[in-house]
Amino acid sequence: MAPSPSESSETVLALVNCISPLKYFSDFRPYFTIHDSEFKEYTTRTQAPPSVILGVTNPFFAKTLQHWPHIIRIGDLKPAGEIPKQVKVKKLKNLKTLDSKPGVYTSYKPYLNRDEEIIKQLQKGVQQKRPSEAQSVILRRYFLELTQSFIIPLERYVASLMPLQKSISPWKSPPQLRQFLPEEFMKTLEKTGPQLTSGIKGDWIGLYRHFLKSPNFDGWFKTRRKEMTQKLEALHLEALCEEDLLLWIQKHTEVETVDLVLKLKNKLLQADRENLPVKPDTVAKLRTHIDAIILALPEDLQGILLKTGMT
């Protein structure tokens, strides 16, 4: 809740961006009013609050959304040079309907301890009349480093789900990624957790467990899984390029050879359609292989295959 639409929008966008480089995958509305089409859906008490961040200014929402787990109340902006009071995290039950003071009201208990150093650094900046742009840079860098400390163990574990390159056979479908097992991941945190890059104490395990159930994890992991699957497809193409395909067709029937050509063409189409991370010389080499195989076939088959797909 903010005094104006501009402050509402800026606050919502700041919240969404504070987990960068993680992407926020849930819905968010920088400025939401009672006239929005989802008003009834978002304000109903018959179901759990939706996974969405709303920026509002209408005092009506103070009562209507009182059952939501998190409410941030933004006060009027302080004049330049005036030191703001330290905002405390308050229990949601203490939120008054219309005249609550600025602050963070939440029904959740924070997983990590508060970092007093960043608070002191920002307050010192206010005392020294540091430009707001500089304050913003400090805060953004702080959250960036904190998020990176959080995400590095996940990236490391997900990388371990990738099959070894030596397991990729040109004559078999690319191997599948191993399944993400939450408990297996949790066991890695003891030695390679965020404590290696962050000095903040707290219940990191609890935070990870909460994150793994969130839309943000689901969106992040789907993106990473897609990238890794595409990498496997690209490595499979490279493995095919390294094979002596002309020698292979000498040991196989015409039907099998035609089938190989069609599969190779489909591979090229897939690489182009899905923007696979394939090296240009790999694509060129595979095209050369296809042309050489076609020329080794009878003329009637050559004509058909040259007209089929790309070469």
- Report the predicted TM-score, pTM, of the whole model to 2 decimal places: 0.83
pLDDT the model gives residue 32:
95
pLDDT the model gives residue 98:
43
Tens-place pLDDT, residues 53-66: 999 999 888 888 88
pLDDT the model gives residue 126:
92
pLDDT the model gives residue 280:
87
User: Which residue has tokens 């990388």?
Assistant: 159
Q: 3-state DSSP call for residue 252? A: coil
Q: What phi, psi does 53 have (nearest 5°)?
A: -105, 125
pLDDT the model gives residue 83:
47
Q: How far is CA 88 from CA 16, 103, 143, 244, in A?
A: 21, 6, 19, 69
pLDDT the model gives residue 311:
42
Q: How far is CA 292 from CA 89, 214, 236, 245, in A?
A: 70, 51, 20, 9
Contacts of 303 (CB under 8 A, 6+ apart): none
pLDDT the model gives residue 303:
78
pLDDT the model gives residue 78:
52
Tens-place pLDDT, residues 22-74: 999 999 999 999 999 999 888 888 888 889 999 999 988 888 888 899 999 98
Angle at Cα 47 formed by Cα 44 and Cα 49, nearest 5°? 75
Q: Where are the domains of the chain?
A: 5-109, 243-311
pLDDT the model gives residue 301:
84
Question: Which regions in the chain score pLDDT beneath 70?
Answer: 76-99, 308-311
